[in-house]
A and B are shown apart, each in its own frame.
Chain A
Amino acid sequence: MTSLRRRLVPYGLLGPGAIWLALFFVVPMYFMGEMALRSGTFDTGFTFAWEWSNFADSLDGREQQLIRSFIYAGTATLIALAIAYPLAYAIALRAGRWKLLLLFAVVAPFFTTYLIRTIAWKTILADASPAVDALQLLMLVPDDGRVLATSGAVIAGLTYNFLPFMILPIYASLERMDVRLIESAKDLYASSTQAFLRVTLPISMPGIVAGVLLTFIPSAGDYVNALLLGGTGQSMIGNVIQSLYLQQRNYPEAAALSFLMMVVILGVVIAYLRLAGTGAFMGDEDEAKT
């Protein structure tokens, strides 16, 4: 009796949450796939018909947006990594008593709505704003050029909005590092650069891998930055899906495109994890400790 009860305890704890996730994450994925194979119109209703052509139709004429999504997201991820690594390093290893304050500043943006932050960037990057004047003075933007409604503005928005997701995992991996490892490397006559490349960087790798994924995935699916900061020539695949679902109400084609996007992103993620060779993202690292 007791042994049976003991064995049932974990399922009792796990059950409610697992059921919620199954019902409202897994099952909806099934319905999205099913919706993608329906045919019909909004007025007559959509019926299931193995309509495979939805997939081809959904991509037709939207190659540009698809490619753009991956280029924008990729660029934003790389810039975010470049900004985040030194910052995470400084917070984890050099900040001393400023550590908590800096960490706090990193997550502070979360407490103003995503949308408001993006609109704030629209204000900052508006034509003839002080920031744009400064960029023109530095010859980074032509005198008669603008920043809003360019690819640069969308990439800048993506970089900014998902930056904390890059900083926090890298910070967490550096924070856990034993500083004595660097000291011993130096005792063994490693230069600072060597110590960084051979000790610090490998230790922070799981953080980098997790950060890259957590930045790339939401960036690739984003449509708010392209909508608010970009022009007509900057729309991403998220904008297409959004418009198909909520404006054109062509649900099957919208579902087909979402499905394809998920498959492509999953493919990229799996390939990347194979390459990076780490289970950090799955929490395996933490698992090993218990």
Chain B
Amino acid sequence: MSVAWSWLRRNALLLYAAVAVAYMLLPIAVVGLFSFDRTRGGELDYTWSGFTLEYWRNAFADESVNDAMIVSLQLAGLSTLGSTILGTLMALALVRHQFRGRRLSNLLIVLPMATPEIVIGAALLSMFLVYGLQLGFQTLLIAHVMFSISFVVVVVRSRLIGFDRSLEDAAADLGARPLTTFRTITLPLLAPGIVAAGLLAFALSIDDFVISNFNSGTTETFPLYIFGVSLRGIPVQVNVLATMLFVVAVAGISLVLWQQRRAERMAEVRPEPPVGTQAAPVRPIRPGQPTAT
């Protein structure tokens, strides 16, 4: 009895973590489960009526669901490309350079993250209305790049701050030109940060509903499509595609994480630390410091 009690006390926090995580994953499980639901009329009705593989077999049978998904993927792809490039350059400027107007630039980056989405959406719509701009894919792209940039800057910047600059110095000492150093040293070491930022930008774009709702015109992204049909009846294919997207994302992230670990191991010039101290931070190599442990 007391053994069980002390075990419970020691692991209470981890047990709690397991419950909390289960809670966070519950809706995703429900989405996945209901993609196998045998419903009448092929529309979700929030009650379980039996198992079927029918909708997975006909995953792409509903044209309008497909179209919306394609728009979302195109939009997310382009917005990721744009915001990742712009954001990475900004992060480089902020971490690597001293210049006037730095506080102002910081403010410009933080404010969009601190503004409610509905205000961003409303403000953009106001501007597009005043200029009489046709709402559609272009206005969506403008908005998505805009709200993703700040998050890219934050992610890439945190990677840059922990950056070991001695490797760049070494390349320069060996006669590499600045651009060569950037291409062969800085960029590969920065890559995991950029990839993480890109993934986040992609997720933000594909997830966005509020800002898109204001600036889409008649263009329908996946979330906008779901919203449109949510009052009438949602085709089961929506759940199938959402589950697919989730599985692909999980696989993609696992791959990135694995790559990242490999890259970090390769960046460690020092020999592997002994087993048991793996969590120890990698110390940067400084001149004059013995390289062997």
| Partner-B contacts on A (CB < 8 A) | 7, 9-11, 13-14, 16-18, 20-22, 24-29, 31-32, 34-35, 83, 86-87, 89-91, 94-95, 98, 100, 102, 104-106, 108-117, 119-124, 126, 129, 160, 163-164, 213-214, 217-218, 220-224, 228, 238, 241-242, 245-246, 251, 254-255, 258, 261-262, 265, 269, 281-283, 286-287, 289-290
B interface size (C-beta, 8 A)? 89
**Pairs across A and B, CB under 8 Å, 6 listed:** A14-B93, A31-B127, A98-B14, A114-B209, A121-B27, A217-B114
Per the bound structure, the CA–CA distance linking A242 and B86 in Å amounts to 30
Given A31-B123, A258-B122, the answer on whether A123 and B34 have CB atoms closer than 8 Å is yes
Most buried by B among A17, A29, A115, A258: A17
- Residue contact B93 to A218, C-beta cutoff 8 Å: no
- Residue contact B127 to A28, C-beta cutoff 8 Å: yes
Q: Find B27's partner among A86, A117, A242 (CB 8 Å cutoff).
A: A117
Can you list, as one digit per residue, whether each of B259-270 has a CB less than 8 Å from chain A (1) or not (0)? 000000000000
**Which residues of B are found within 8 Å of A110, using beta-carbon distances?**
203, 207
Of B57-65, B94-102, B283-291, the segment with at least 4 beta carbons within 8 Å of chain A is B94-102
Q: Taking the nearest CB of chain A, how far is it from the CB of B242, in angstroms?
A: 5
Per the bound structure, the CA–CA distance linking A233 and B120 in Å amounts to 26
- Residue contact B14 to A283, C-beta cutoff 8 Å: no
Q: Taking the nearest CB of chain B, how far is it from the CB of A234, in angstroms?
A: 16
- Residue contact B94 to A111, C-beta cutoff 8 Å: no
B8 at the interface (CB under 8 A from A): no
Q: Taking the nearest CB of chain A, how far is it from the CB of B1, in angstroms?
A: 23
Q: Find B99's partner among A10, A112, A251, A261 (CB 8 Å cutoff).
A: A10
Most buried by B among A35, A108, A113, A241: A113
**Which residues of B are found within 8 Å of A111, using beta-carbon distances?**
203, 245-246, 249-250
Given A87-B16, A105-B25, the answer on whether A113 and B223 have CB atoms closer than 8 Å is yes
Per the bound structure, the CA–CA distance linking A115 and B245 in Å amounts to 14
**Which residues of A are found within 8 Å of B46, using beta-carbon distances?**
122-123, 126, 129
B185 at the interface (CB under 8 A from A): no
Per the bound structure, the CA–CA distance linking A97 and B192 in Å amounts to 21
Q: Find B17's partner among A18, A21, A95 (CB 8 Å cutoff).
A: A95
Per the bound structure, the CA–CA distance linking A117 and B238 in Å amounts to 12
**Which residues of A are found within 8 Å of B125, using beta-carbon distances?**
245
Given A14-B89, A21-B108, A108-B250, the answer on whether A116 and B31 have CB atoms closer than 8 Å is yes
B197 at the interface (CB under 8 A from A): no
Per the bound structure, the CA–CA distance linking A214 and B115 in Å amounts to 10
Given A16-B86, A114-B207, the answer on whether A109 and B24 have CB atoms closer than 8 Å is yes
- Residue contact B242 to A35, C-beta cutoff 8 Å: no
B117 at the interface (CB under 8 A from A): yes
- Residue contact A115 to B116, C-beta cutoff 8 Å: no
Given A102-B21, A113-B223, the answer on whether A20 and B86 have CB atoms closer than 8 Å is yes
- Residue contact A119 to B249, C-beta cutoff 8 Å: no
